[in-house]
Structures are given as C-alpha cells and as structure tokens.
Amino acid sequence: MKPERLLGAVCVSLLLSLQAVVPQVQIIRQPPPSGEEAGSATWRNPYSDPVQVRESGRVDLSGRISVGGKGGRDQSGDTLYDFTTDSMVTLMQPLGGDALLSFDAAALRVQSAVKEDQKYDGTLALDLESFQLKTSGGFSQSLSTAEDLSTEDSDARFSAAVSSGLLETMPMSLEYQSVWVNRQDEGIETESSRSDELGFKTVGTIGTLGVDLRGNLDYENDREEMTESLATVGKLTVSVPVQEQLAVLVSLSPLYNRSETDSSDLRSTSMESGLGINWAPREFFDTTLKASRVDAWSSGEGVDYEDYQNSWRSGVGLNYLPPEGWFAGPEYTFTKAEGGNLSHDLLLLLGWHGREELTEISGNSSSSFIRSENGDRVKDTIDWQLKAALMPTERMNLDGEYQGGYVWQVEGETWNQEVELDFRHSPDPGLSYRSSAALSSIREEDEPAQWEQQYAAGLSVKPLINFIEYRVDASETVDVSSDSTGDDILSSALMKVAFPLNQALSGRVGFQWEWINRVSIDGDPGNYYHYTTGLSLAGKGAPVSLTADYGIAHGYRGLRQDISSGVKVPLRGGYSLNGDFTLSSYEENDEDKLYWVFSLNLVYDF
C-alpha cells in the first residue's frame, strides 16, 4: 500500500477557503489566481501551554478534523471541483517533575479529477531537566494530469536536535537536517537532489581548561546535474590558564572537501594549527594575539590543482563588550601563502547601547585587501554599516540604518548603498502613526547607477463614541525605481473604516487609489480605483458567524468585481459547518473573465 493511501486512511484535513483576490500594488498587471492552487493547512494557536500542562500533571490531547470539498469554475471556463481532508492532533504527556513529552501531526489531502496534493508533517519532542530531544519530518507530493501532460513533484525533510547538560561543565548540542527534492515530467526525472547538514557544538570547562569544540558536515547530491559534494570542518580550541588574567590558546582546525561531477573529481584536505595568548585584565575586556599555519593537500582528475600548499596566518584582536555603555571590537588578520597571494583583513566595531532614550548607536566595517606576491592589486572588498535606535518615550521608536559595500576586481568595481529610516509612535491606545523611508542603489563600472526608493506613512485611529469603538486606517506608499528605460513611480493610497452596527453586527468600507507614471514603457500615466464594503455577524448574540464582502475596481488595470462570503454554523459536540463562496469578474487582454468557487467543510474540534 502506498504511504499516502495509508496516511490518508488515518488523517483527514481542512480545506482552506479561497479569499477574494484584490489588486496588488504592482507596476505590471498580473492576472488573478485561477482557483486551482491547492490550499495548505493552517491552524489556530497552540492548544496548550507546556508550562500549564507540567503544573497540572494531566495528559492534554487536542486537535481538529475536517472533511469538505469545493466546486466552481476557473478563469478559462473549466469546471473546478475537489475533495479535501485535513487534520491535526496535539498530545502533551507530563512524565513527572519538569519532564514533558509532546507530539503533534498534521495531514492535508486535496484530490480532484486532474490533480492530487498531499502534505504530512509531524514533530516529537522530549524535554527533561538536563536533556532535550526534538525530531520533525514532513512529506509533500503533487500529482497533476492535464492536457496529456503528467507531472509529479515531491519533497521530504527530516530534522533532529539534541541538547544535553548531563555534563554540567560541558553542555553540548547536536543538530541534523536532511532534505530530498524530486521533480518529474511525463515520467522523466527533471530534478532530483538531496542535502544533509550535521552540526555539533560543546563549549565549557574540563578542570581548569577551557574547551571549545565544534564540527559541521554538509553533503549535497544532484542526480540531474550529476554533481556530488561533501564538506567537513572541525575546530578545537583549548584555553590553558597561566595566570589569573592570562591564558594560552591551542587550536586545531581540520577541513575536508570533495567535489565530483561527471567529468572531474577534486579532493582537498587541510589542517590549521595555531597558538595564541588571551589577556583579560578586567571584566568584559580581553585581547587576543594568535598565529597559525595552514597545510593543504589536494588530488583529483580532470581539474587543475596543486598537490601541496601552505600558508601562515597571524592576528590580533580586542574586545570590550559590557552589557551597557560603550563597546568596541577591532581585529586585524594577516595571511600569506607560500609562493602565493597575501591578504590583510580588518574588522572594526564601535558603538554605545543603553536602556533609556538612546538604545543603540554603532558602526562596524569589514575589509579585505588581497595582493599578489609581487604586490599587484588582486581584489579589495569593503563593507560598512551605521545603525542608530532611539526610544524618546515609552511608545515612540526611531530606527535608522545605513550600509554599503565596495568591491574591486580586475573585471571592474561595484558600489552598493542602502539607507532605511523607520518611525513609530503610539501616544494613546486609540492612536498610532508611522512612517518609513528606504533608498538603495547599485553601480557597476561604466554602467549608470540603479536606484530604488520607497516611502510610506500610515495612521490608525480607534475613537470611542458612546462606549462603541470605531477604527480608521489610512496609509500612503510611494515606490520609485530607475533603470535604463527610465523611472517608474507608483503611488498607492489606502483608507479603511470599520464600525459596529450592534453587539453582533459590524461593517467596513475601504478605498484604494493607485497612480502610476507610465502603464508601459513610453506609455501614459494611469489611475486605478478600488472600493470595498463588507459586513460581519459574530458574537454571543448571533447564532452563526457570517462575513460578506464586495469590491469593485476600475482604471488602467481594467474593470474588476469581487464577491466573497463565509459562514460558520456551530453544531453540537464540537462540530461546526463552514462554507465559503468567492466570485470574481474582470477584464484581461480585452476579454471578460469569470471564476467562482464554493466550498463546504464539516469540522470537528476536540
């Protein structure tokens, strides 16, 4: 029996209703979805709080099961229908003391005449006082047969993480993740790949020695491209105290790489061994002086390589990182390969952070300068960042960031810069406003600079009139981009108003105005207007939950109308009946399009 048939017999899932499609703020008009896209499982907030389950000592089992279907018509005029099952279960089992076992699983299946989608996910976690284990996995598959073309897409993943504090002075963690991807068209494999990642880390003390041991493994296999690669790296640093403030550092860092294709094979191994001195004259302040030698061996077929290389590396660093006030962290490293290039690497960090009005102001940069043995310029790389965060009052935030980069190579040079500003203020629970601005550019040698700009502002007001709360939201966004064809400017203004009509009934209206300086290259400016209105029925005084929305839009994108509605009827014993309806009519390429979808689901919550 196929795994999906077996799992499908056990699990059932919830159909996500299709929502009304509203115009997006895009310079190039995109047609709306056809309604054929499969839904994905979404769930409410976690059913239980692990802390409460521990304190109660009782087993907690909860979940949701849904069975339903949908039918309608897509934008091409073809009939849509499918059957959907959706389910989710969560189990929390106290094991005594602070120990807790938790398990959750979800399954989704959507099946129609031409398509079958399924998705399964699960997580198992064990939480003990000094040991934690978490495993998770998932599988998804999509089978489609339309117009004599069959496709199959499948993905699978598995991950596991272990954290242990059984050795009190040497806590350790181990993480593993694996992902499989497969794509087929007409039974012919178009993509097949696998990737694995493994990481280990332990930092602590053994007696008077400080120990830092880390290791990573990365594996990738692409059968379609016929490539395979394996990379492993480890690092061991032992700190040997000489005096109260002085320690000797001994480090070893092995590395292994293997890369294979259908025409080449390259293997390399290296070992970096080093010595250093760490001096910590006061709390939060230390300086390190280190030197190391790197030996590398290579072998292969069908590719150029050097049998043996060695290089020397030396560096000095300083760290002053208190929890508040000024902090700094400069570091310089010099590397010289025997008979090869030399490089200068410099890291700079300087700033101030606090807990009052000025929470942080800092700057950092990293630079690398590579020179040949003859002193010729090979490559220069410089990156920098300035950052500031202010909180003048408890409900006001102002953040700013500027970052840039410069790269020089023989082929040419590249500059990039980006500035962002963000302001938020909520002087009253019923009033908040915000604004932001972003500017970025990239320039390559002998090419004009490309600019991107975005400006936004918004206001939210929740007035209380006769003990009834209303809500008004207004926003404006302006996007400006430039390229070789000229500037594109897009402005979008939005207004939404929500108002209660009685204890169970509320209404809402909205308006959006979009302006663009050219609807196409060398085209004229255009306007687009979108109006929405809706009603919601919910609350203790209402026997059912009901929503209904209508929208109409016109302008350079064409005429469009959208209708959407949803109803939830509570039944006895945790059952409920959910129904949704969506209808859209619009113009596309001077043709009238119409699609509609109706869905009905029986849901059981336990």
The pLDDT tens digits of the residues spanning 323-351 come to 999 999 999 999 999 988 999 999 999 99
**Can you give the pLDDT at residue 312?**
96
DSSP output for 471-502: EEEEEEEEEEEEETTEEEEEEEEEEEEEEESS
512 vs 446 pLDDT, higher one: 512
Q: How far apart are CA 585 and CA 562, in angstroms?
A: 7
CB of 507 within 8 A of CB of 501? yes
Please compute the mean of the pLDDT values over residues 454-470 and round it to a whole number: 90
96 vs 237 pLDDT, higher one: 237
**Can you give the pLDDT at residue 595?**
87
Residue identified by tokens 């945790």 is 574
Is residue 10 predicted with pLDDT exceeding 70? no
CB of 588 within 8 A of CB of 574? no
Please compute the mean of the pLDDT values over residues 301-305 and round it to a whole number: 88
Residue identified by tokens 């006001």 is 396
pLDDT-derived band at 449 (thresholds 50, 70, 90) equals: confident
**Can you give the pLDDT at residue 572?**
85
pLDDT-derived band at 234 (thresholds 50, 70, 90) equals: very high
The pLDDT tens digits of the residues spanning 412-429 come to 999 999 999 999 999 998
Please compute the mean of the pLDDT values over residues 68-96 and round it to a whole number: 87
Is residue 564 predicted with pLDDT exceeding 90? yes
Mean pLDDT for the chain overall: 87
DSSP output for 28-91: S--PPP-S-SPP-----S-SS-HHHHHHH---EEEEEEEEEEEEEE-TTS-EEEEEEEEEEEEE
pLDDT-derived band at 52 (thresholds 50, 70, 90) equals: low
Please compute the mean of the pLDDT values over residues 477-487 and round it to a whole number: 84
Is residue 212 predicted with pLDDT exceeding 50? yes
Least confident of 119-128, 405-414, 540-549: 540-549
Q: Give the amino acid at 73.
A: R
Residue identified by tokens 């919601």 is 536
pLDDT-derived band at 32 (thresholds 50, 70, 90) equals: very low
pLDDT-derived band at 589 (thresholds 50, 70, 90) equals: confident
pTM passes above 0.85: no
Q: What is the CA radius of gyration of the chain?
A: 31
Percent above pLDDT 70 for the chain: 90
**Can you give the pLDDT at residue 55?**
62
How is the chain split into domains, by residue range? 167-320
Neighbours of 260 (CB within 10 A): 18
Is residue 502 predicted with pLDDT exceeding 90? no
Token couple for 586: 């619009």
Percent above pLDDT 90 for the chain: 63
